[in-house]
Structure 1
Amino acid sequence: MTQAQGFGRRYIKAFFKGFFVAVPVTVTFLDRVACVARVEGASMQPSLNPGGRQASDVVLLNHWSIRNYDVQRGDIVSLVVPGYHRSLFPLPWELESVIKLSHPSRSPRNPEQKIIKRVIALEGDIIKTIGYKKKYVKVPHGHIWVEGDHHGHSFDSNAFGPVSLGLLHARATHILWPPKRWQKLQPILPPERKPLQREQE
Structure 2
Amino acid sequence: MAQSQGWVRRYFKAFCKGFFVAVPVAVTFLDRVACVARVEGASMQPSLNPGGSQSSDVVLLNHWKVRNFEVQRGDVVSLVSPKNPEQKIIKRVIALEGDIVKTMGHKNRYVKVPRGHIWVEGDHHGHSFDSNSFGPVSLGLLHAHATHILWPPERWQKLESVLPPERSPVQSEEDCLQGSP
The two structures have a TM-score, normalised by structure 2, of: 0.92
Q: Which one-letter code corresponds to 2:98 in the other structure? A: G
Question: Are the counterparts in 1 of residues 118 and 138 from structure 2 also a CA contact under 8 Å?
Answer: yes
For the residue of structure 1 that corresponds to 2:74, the secondary structure is coil
Q: Which amino acid aligns with 1:142?
A: G
- Residue 161 of structure 2 is aligned to residue 187 of structure 1: yes
**Counterpart of 1:166 in 2: which secondary structure?**
helix
Q: Report matched runs for 1:150-169 at 5 Å.
A: 150-169=124-143
Q: Which residue of 2 aligns with 1:17?
A: 17
Partners of 1:122 and 1:197 lie apart in 2 by 13
Which amino acid in the other structure matches residue 162 of structure 2? Answer: I
Q: Aligned letter for 1:136? A: Y
Larger RCO, structure (CA 8 Å, separation 6 or more): 1
For residues 6 and 153 of structure 2, the distance between their equivalents in structure 1, rounded to whole angstroms, comes to 48
Equivalent residue number for residue 178 of structure 2: none
Is the helix fraction higher in 1 or 2?
A: 2
Q: Give RMSD over aligned pairs.
A: 1.1
Within 5 Å, which residues of 2 pair with 1:18-167?
18-84=18-84, 109-110=85-86, 113-167=87-141
Tell me the distance in 1 between the aligned counterparts of 2:78 and 2:89: 6
Write out the 4+ residue segments of structure 1 that deviate beyond 3 Å after TM superposition. none
Q: Which runs of 5+ in 1 are unaligned?
A: 85-108
Q: How many residues align?
A: 172
* SS across alignment from 1:16: helix
Paired-residue identity, %? 80
Q: What is the alpha-carbon distance in structure 2 between the residues aligned to residue 83 and residue 154 of structure 1?
A: 14
CA deviation vs aligned residue, 1:157-182 (integer Å, no higher than 9, x gap): 00000000010010110001111111
Distance 1:58 1:75 in 2: 17
2: distance between equivalents of 1:24 and 1:51? 37
